[in-house]
Structure 1
Amino acid sequence: LYQADTWRRRQFLSSVWQLLSENPLALEQADLVLDNMALVFEGSLHTLLAVLDPEVRKVERRARDEKKRRVCTFTFVRADVLRDMEDGDQPNPMAWHQELDASWLETREIEMERAYNGEYDDICTISHRWEEKDHPDASSNQWRKIKHHLKLEENQGITHVWYDYWCLPQGKGLSEAEKADFNRQLKLVNLLYLGSRVLLLVDQSYMERFWCCFEAWLSMQRCGPNGLTPLTDGGGKRYTIVPVDSGRALAHADLAQQSELLVGMWAGCRVDEAKQHLSSDAIKVTNQKDKKTQLAKVDQLNDEVR
């Protein structure tokens, strides 16, 4: 096994993971397993140790339970907190998830069927581009647009906001359990873009980014017996587009044109067309694996919502 090809080592490791995660006796003898198989695992040993972490197993049990019940628990920021904040208030409204005041955050179970029916109109999900590698909104322009949006009369029914920087564990120093919980939520984040109100914060580079375009397309779809179909086929608009100048000085007309182009590209786009557009090299993504994974999920999602 030590000299076997990478694929065989991965298959072997996968079998051991399953054994250790499902067999209590094997877990009790995990030290013996590690002592005798460390060389086989090579660089993947840390992954095995993560599986043995009680907190990781807790997240995985939660994910399995939620899968059976067809729900997913997400963390949200309370909209009333954001409405009441003024510029300069502390803690910083653009702090990342782990630094936010715990009283700002609430968890909710999102039911798949209700999401597919677009029933979560008390939730506002934010689609945005990250301005910098380590911070989505160094200029605070996005924050000001979010706050203004929440204060509008027609949006007083919004009780919770999902913004990835606030609602998912962030940074390089995450524990294995935090990484597992991040992945648990990310796998089903499409539920939010299909089932809630969506605020699209569009800047000059938004249409070049894979995640932004994918989220925008989902927000312009409805779920039904024919799978994913454009909202233009029968109303029920859930998305709002707000132009954002993220730093480079642009005329308001230019930003408005970006919004029109976004609607023109994605609003009437059906599944096959969306996959073709999203797979284009012109649509950039930081992690190519994300694009491959999400595109593979489009057909699965299209069948799931029927």
Structure 2
Amino acid sequence: MDSPARHGRYPWSPLPERPLYDWPGGRRLAVYVGLNLEVFDFGDGLGAELAPGGGDPDVLNYSWRDWGNRVGAWRLLETLDALGLPTSVIANGRVLTECPGLVEAFLARGDELVGHGRTNAERQADLTEDDERALVAEATAALTTAAGRAPAGWLGPWISESRVTPDLLAEAGYGYLLDWAHDDQPTWLTTRDGGRILSVPYPQELNDIPAVVSRQVSGQDFADMVVATFDEMLEQSRSAPLVMGIAVHPYVVGHPHRLRPLRAALAHVAAHRDDVWLTTAGAIAEHAAPVTP
């Protein structure tokens, strides 16, 4: 019998057997909001579908997604401002040219900028190694120009990786990635040159695309998931330092009937700011790197 295929990126490590450490201020639960700012090709390529579109050009779903950048993102920005929540802005490089002023509005708050490919109309796994390297370089250059410094973290469009994605990211100078949902703590992934890149937990359950678009839960249900996850992880963090991410897309949760319950859920989280570390994915990576075996 053949051995099963292995990725070789990280070893087996049960959570209860790991060393204990604290987040800043002696806290044990780190919480961040990952806000995705994405653009899509009109009449071509990939794109989330909230309703059957009926072929390309898919005006229904394209315009629904575009609404997120024109309206929904600004409503979320107001919500984050009102609650005093920092954000990891996970942005396609071409958002900068197609939606001028949008990324800049979040950077003015001091938010972190995370690389997210060129557009969400393509997947890294579909590219050759040279083409994927070029994608990383193009997106990195655009985001570096906007932020004045290179992004430290990366999330692949559609959370899609080739077999060499972590290697290419490490070679391009990235310190962490968000693609792997295998743990509630940061973990190291090995790379082909004998180095490593840190994996920071990014949610697939507490993520509005799988929840609302794929599983078709309501806005209230998604907000209830945020509260239940937070309350449970706060209790669990008594025995281990944990990371809770909340992944949102303006074209999904920016709509009024989803935004209102989400705002209440985020207010519940923000009300515990003395008990948890409200932060960014980049700050989590920076703090965890020296203490993660």
Tell me the TM-score normalized by structure 2.
Answer: 0.29
Larger radius of gyration: 1
Instruction: Determine which structure has greater relative contact order: mean sequence separation of CA pairs < 8 Å that are 6+ residues apart, divided by chain length.
Output: 2
Tell me the TM-score normalized by structure 1.
Answer: 0.28
Choose between structure 1 and 2: higher helix proportion.
Answer: 1
